[in-house]
Structure 1
Amino acid sequence: MAEVKFLVVLPANPDESDRMSKLAIRGSLLQEPQQFSINFVNSPSCTDNITYHFKVKVPSQTIVENYKSNGEWSGSHQEKYLNIFDGKSDVKWSSNPRIIDGKFHYSFTESTFSLEFQFDYDNSTIIVYQVRGQGHNFVTKFETLFSLSEIQSIQVWGDVQKINEFSLSYD
């Protein structure tokens, strides 16, 4: 069974007017990764209720979106083909034969990811963007079963080597 690679318990916020509006996460994957997922969980100690499950199947470049209620995964998950890896790194190398146009090119086996999740409480949706430099590319929009205010923790699972950045923004 897979294990949680990264866990953040969100601060309790009794004031509804000051709630999380964005979550940004950037990380690197293990060599030859198969998949990783980011779960927005309703309890830090129990994964029976997951408001949003965002999984990336790396070799097929597919994302899977789903939720879990009372321990059961929804049968109506969504799968979309998407390459969230741009195949370039900002790392410059001086003596590497794989340099083309001053950039180091690499395969999906040496991937990093940079994602931003925006929360629309009025419509109970999470909008996902891929962050590239200063730009944001739309990835998907998911309507949740649970209220977004029920999310208490974020879990990262799968073939993740390291989380380089994790940030929360509030209204």
Structure 2
Amino acid sequence: MAEVKYLVVLPTNPNESDRMSKMGIQGCLLQEPEQFSINFVNSPSCTDNITYHFKVRVPAQTIVENYKINGEWSDAHQEKYLNIFDGKSDKTMPSISSIINDGIDAVLHYSFTESTFSLEFQFDYNNSTIHVYQVRGQGHNFVTKFETLFSLSDIQSIQVWGDVQKITQFSLSYD
């Protein structure tokens, strides 16, 4: 069974005007990743209630959105074909001279698949929705919007699962 790779317990804010408005996360994936997910969980020690489950199936270029209530996943999950790894990365195509000098193996091991991700989750408490954006430099590309069953105020922790090698940045913004 898979295990939690990273867990962040959110600070409690008794003042409702100091609610989390954004959560940013950047990380690196393992080589040849299959999937990773980010769960917005209602208890740091129990995953029976998940307000929002955001999963990326990397080879299928699919995003799965769902929630869990009382230990049961919702049947109303959403799947969207959308590749947040669009092949743009800091890598450059090998030159002809390097292909000749390094042989065919250099070409076979080269991949345009990006191994990093940078996402921002924005919280709309009035409409109980989470907006997801891919972050590239100073730009934000809309990925998806998910209406939650639970109140966003119920989220107590964030868990990262799957083929994640490391988290390079994690940020919380409050109103």
TM-score, with length taken from structure 1 = 0.90
Partner of 1:64: 64
Point out where structure 2 has 5 or more consecutive residues left out of the alignment: 100-109
Q: What is the distance in 2 between the residues matched to 1:36 and 1:149?
A: 24
Is 1:111 equivalent to 2:115 in the alignment?
Answer: yes
RMSD across aligned positions (CA): 2.0
Specify which structure has the higher proportion of strand.
1
- CA deviations 1:115-136 (Å, max 9, x no partner) are 0000000000000000011100
TM-score, with length taken from structure 2 = 0.88
The 8 Å contact of residues 28 and 162 in structure 1, kept in 2 or not, is answered as yes
The list of structure 1 runs, each at least 4 consecutive aligned residues, that deviate by more than 3 angstroms after superposition, is 90-98
SS in structure 2 of the partner of residue 149 of structure 1? helix
Point out where structure 1 has 5 or more consecutive residues left out of the alignment: 99-104
SS in structure 1 of the partner of residue 37 of structure 2? strand
Specify which structure has the higher proportion of helix.
2
- Give the C-alpha shift of residue 92 in structure 1: 7.6
In terms of Rg, which structure is larger? 2
Partner of 1:102: none
Q: What is the distance in 2 between the residues matched to 1:86 and 1:134?
A: 17
- Give the C-alpha shift of residue 91 in structure 1: 6.1
SS in structure 2 of the partner of residue 141 of structure 1? strand
Q: How does 1:1-171 map to 2 (within 5 A)?
A: 1-90=1-90, 97=98, 106-108=111-113, 110-171=114-175
- Give the C-alpha shift of residue 151 in structure 1: 0.1
